[in-house]
Structure 1
Amino acid sequence: MALRRSVRIRSESAAAPGGARRAAQEVSLHATCVAVDGQGVVLTGESGAGKSALGLQLIDGGAMLVSDDVTALFREGPRLIARAPLHGAGLIEAHGNGIMRLDFVDQAPVAFFVDVGPPAGERLPEPAYRTELGISALLLRADPANPASAALIRLAVAHGPPHIPDSV
């Protein structure tokens, strides 16, 4: 699975001590991001996997659009922050219907990543993580064809991600 990504240096608006400007790395991913209760959920996967469709399901359930197709991540202290590139803010593709302009939030702290695609096979997989800019975040899986996928993501934000109890 090849992921499109680029890394660039972006100038921070805040000046470091002595008036020097700070620079921070930023990574661009082929991904959709929505904010569920203010927490960023970054939907990754192959082209055509259903990232935008799952994003629309989450937005229909109350989430806010952060970005579609390209998501920029930058580090703010110990957290990853997701935002849209300037040219795509507020836009999301409704596959087969065109581009929709929606209300959006400028950025959101990343709670976790979701690998969008068909089921992986394991019913109770070990936890997986994805690391960007030196920060690891949980990686869940979601099948956009499964009507429970959007609910799983909303519940993971509200109550914590699924886990395997010690007694299983």
Structure 2
Amino acid sequence: MSDHFSIVSGVSAVAIDGRAILIEGKPGSGKSSLALAIIDRGAMLIGDDGIRIDTSGNRSIALPPPNIAGKLEIRGVGIVELPTGSAPIALILDLDGSPERLPDTLVMRTMGNVAIPVLPFDAKAPNAALRAQWALKLHGVAF
């Protein structure tokens, strides 16, 4: 594997209109459920509970992980297989953070050569998938 690739476990990711949202949080925080709900609204799975990141260019690209590509755990139901894709990382949703009612300034995390906004997010709030899509529109890096 190239020095520009890294494997990140415990993170889920979906692609919406060519941009990736990373979903991070503790086990049981709702990462897979949120990813599934966003996929139900038309997004594509990148990875569940693990992703691969390519930082070789001027973007950080989220890719399916080699050993569990296409698999998503639906807690209490089982593991399903879904099509996967890849996309540049545009936003990180932090399920362990404390969401603000109206966030004005977001913490930025550098991945490769790109500063990615990190938004504290409540995955268990009503309409979480719709809210995640709006978060991407309002706060995500534009490519």
Q: TM-score, normalised by structure 2?
A: 0.86
- Report if aligned partners of 1:25, 1:133 keep a CA contact under 8 Å in 2: no
SS at match of 2:131: helix
Report Cα offsets for 1:11-44 as digits up to 9, x if no partner. Answer: 3xxxxxxxxxxx4242424200000112111000
- Could you say which residue in structure 2 is the equivalent of 1:87? 67
Q: TM-score, normalised by structure 1?
A: 0.74
- Could you say which residue in structure 2 is the equivalent of 1:50? 30
SS at match of 2:37: helix
Aligned mates of 1:145, 1:50 — CA distance in 2: 7
Aligned mates of 1:116, 1:98 — CA distance in 2: 22
Report Cα offsets for 1:96-151 as digits up to 9, x if no partner. Answer: 1110111211x21111111124x716323431222233532001122121123211
Q: CA RMSD in A?
A: 2.0
- Could you say which residue in structure 1 is the equivalent of 2:49? 69
Q: Determine which structure has the larger strand proportion and give its number.
A: 1
SS at match of 1:41: strand
Q: Which runs of 5+ in 1 are unaligned?
A: 1-9, 12-22, 163-168
Amino acid at match of 1:71: I
Amino acid at match of 1:140: L
- Report if aligned partners of 1:27, 1:74 keep a CA contact under 8 Å in 2: no
Decide which structure has the larger Cα Rg and report it: 1
1:128 aligns with 2:116: no
Q: Which has the higher contact order (CA 8 A, sep 6+)?
A: 2
Amino acid at match of 1:120: S
Identity between Structure 1 and Structure 2 (%) = 34
Aligned mates of 2:127, 2:120 — CA distance in 1: 12
Q: Which runs of 5+ in 2 are unaligned?
A: none
Q: Between Structure 1 and Structure 2, how many residues are aligned?
A: 139
